[in-house]
């Protein structure tokens, strides 16, 4: 039987270590490498019509329309954890399973979150820029200490929990809200469960780590910002759509909150975004997850699960299990066609 055809769209996949790509080749997969070549090229759509599996990143929107143009597609492997660019209902209805790599970038995003917080609280970017411009603002600007502050976290998933542990290391009181409350973790680390309104009222630092869903669009808007302390800072390393940028910009310009640190924006890259003109805001280019370690973990996690799928197993991080048919049941037209079993292909 022919080998499984895999279209690789995710730009960061195996970008820093070729081993995951070599492992797929050694296992006999038929690879179409489209990393960094764009999804609007007609050649991309032509390739998509011929493949069994897509390894996607954050650039490819897997919509119902796209799925309809890929009649042979039976699996989407998402590099990373976010699934907001995939129409899960449409994938499930068409028998396309979706699996991803949760947990691979927890430490990277948590580190970046605290890098943003410390940079903002201690005015690192301002001071660095000033010194390079010949200024010496030795005692004219005061920073904010993180120690013993109240730290509010929206979303206690794996990334939120990693941030909470760092906040505890600074001696902060951590409060959080999450509909799927991790009781054991919260009890062990003395994290208090609160509703969103109370979290915003009591927190000195508010950090967003929840997924973007239609129900969470502009979760932090004018009403929510009005609940925050004037001395508080807002941090977003999750998704730009969670925050009403226009409202945030007004609150920053009017001094109604102290600052904001953003790794994500509503439009990426931004096009004349007003938020970039606001005072006391730090913006990074959606790079929180990008460390050598996390990229390698994500790439390896994708390959592990692609091999599981090709061997007739349910990939360990499948999101829509109800769409799963083992490879070789006839849905894809025969046996896996890989050159080795999962044990032989394991790293």
Does residue 120 sit in the same domain as residue 139? yes
Does residue 177 sit in the same domain as residue 238? yes
pLDDT tens figures, 216-275: 999 999 999 999 999 999 999 999 999 999 999 999 999 999 999 999 999 999 988 899
The answer to whether 12 and 290 are in contact (CB under 8 A) is yes
pLDDT tens figures, 273-286: 899 999 999 999 99
**Structurally, how many domains does the chain consist of?**
2
Does residue 18 sit in the same domain as residue 37? yes
Does residue 20 sit in the same domain as residue 66? yes
Q: pLDDT category, 327, cuts 50, 70, 90? A: low
Is omega for the bond preceding 296 within 30 degrees of 0, making it cis?
Answer: no
Does residue 199 sit in the same domain as residue 329? no
Catalytic residue among 239, 241, 308, 317: 239
Q: How far is CA 61 from CA 42, 53, 76, 88, 304, in A?
A: 16, 15, 11, 11, 23
Single out the residue in 231, 248, 283 at which a domain terminates: 283
Q: pLDDT category, 36, cuts 50, 70, 90? A: confident
Residue 301 tokens, joined: 């996690």
Single out the residue in 283, 306, 329 at which a domain terminates: 283
Does residue 74 sit in the same domain as residue 111? no
Does residue 66 sit in the same domain as residue 112? no
Residue 268 is among the residues annotated as catalytic for this protein: yes
User: At a CB cut-off of 8 Å and minimum separation 6, what does 188 contact?
Assistant: none
Does residue 111 sit in the same domain as residue 77? no
Does residue 260 sit in the same domain as residue 303? no
Range of the structural domain that residue 198 is part of: 106-283
Q: In what order do the strands lie in the sheet with 75-78?
A: 30-33, 5-8, 53-56, 75-78, 97-99
Catalytic residue among 46, 195, 268, 293: 268
Whether the pLDDT of residue 92 is over 50: the answer is yes
Does residue 207 sit in the same domain as residue 251? yes
Q: pLDDT category, 2, cuts 50, 70, 90? A: low
The answer to whether 266 and 239 are in contact (CB under 8 A) is no
Q: What is the DSSP string of 118-162?
A: HHHHTTHHHHHHHHHTT---SSSS-----TT-EEEEE--SHHHHH
pLDDT, mean of residues 172-192: 97
Percent of the chain with pLDDT over 90: 84
Single out the residue in 283, 301, 317 at which a domain terminates: 283
Q: How far is CA 76 from CA 65, 92, 127, in A?
A: 15, 11, 45
Residue 222, classified by CB atoms within 10 Å of its CB into exposed (0-12), middle (13-18) or buried (19+), is middle
Domain harbouring 181, CATH code: 3.40.50.720
The answer to whether 82 and 211 are in contact (CB under 8 A) is yes
pLDDT, mean of residues 104-111: 96
Does residue 202 sit in the same domain as residue 274? yes
Residue 286 is among the residues annotated as catalytic for this protein: yes
Catalytic residue among 35, 94, 126, 286: 286
Average of per-residue pLDDT values in the chain: 91
Does residue 21 sit in the same domain as residue 114? no
């Amino acid at each position: 039987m022919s080998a499984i055809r895999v279209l690789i769209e995710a730009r960061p996949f195996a970008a820093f270590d070729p081993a995951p790509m070599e492992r797929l080749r050694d296992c006999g997969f038929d690879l179409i490498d489209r990393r960094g070549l764009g999804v609007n090229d007609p050649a991309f759509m032509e390739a998509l019509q011929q493949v069994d599996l897509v390894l996607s990143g954050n650039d490819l929107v897997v919509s119902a329309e796209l799925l309809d143009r890929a009649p042979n597609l039976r699996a989407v492997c998402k590099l990373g954890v976010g699934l907001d660019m995939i129409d899960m209902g449409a994938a499930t209805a068409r028998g396309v399973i979706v699996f991803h790599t949760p947990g691979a970038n927890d430490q990277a995003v948590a580190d970046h979150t605290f890098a943003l917080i410390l940079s903002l609280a201690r005015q690192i970017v301002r001071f660095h820029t000033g010194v390079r411009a010949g200024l010496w603002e030795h005692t004219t600007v005061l920073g904010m200490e993180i120690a013993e502050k109240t730290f509010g976290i929206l979303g206690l998933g794996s990334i939120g929990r990693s941030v909470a542990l760092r906040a505890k290391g600074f001696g902060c009181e951590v409060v959080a809200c999450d509909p799927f409350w991790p009781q054991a973790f919260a009890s062990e680390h003395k994290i208090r469960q609160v509703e969103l309104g109370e979290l915003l009222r009591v927190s000195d630092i508010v950090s967003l780590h929840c997924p973007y869903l239609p129900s969470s669009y502009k979760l932090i808007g004018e009403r929510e910002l009005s609940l925050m302390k004037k001395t508080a800072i807002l941090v977003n390393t999750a998704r730009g759509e969670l925050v009403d940028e226009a409202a945030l910009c007004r609150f920053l310009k009017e001094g109604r909150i102290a600052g904001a640190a953003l790794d994500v924006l509503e439009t990426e890259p931004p096009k004349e975004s007003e938020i970039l003109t606001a005072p006391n805001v730090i913006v990074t280019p959606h790079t929180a997850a990008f460390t050598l370690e996390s990229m390698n973990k994500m790439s390896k996690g994708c390959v592990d699960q692609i091999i599981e799928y090709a061997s007739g197993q349910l990939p360990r991080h499948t999101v829509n299990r109800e769409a799963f048919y083992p490879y070789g049941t006839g849905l894809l037209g025969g046996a896996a066609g890989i050159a080795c079993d999962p044990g032989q292909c394991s790293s």
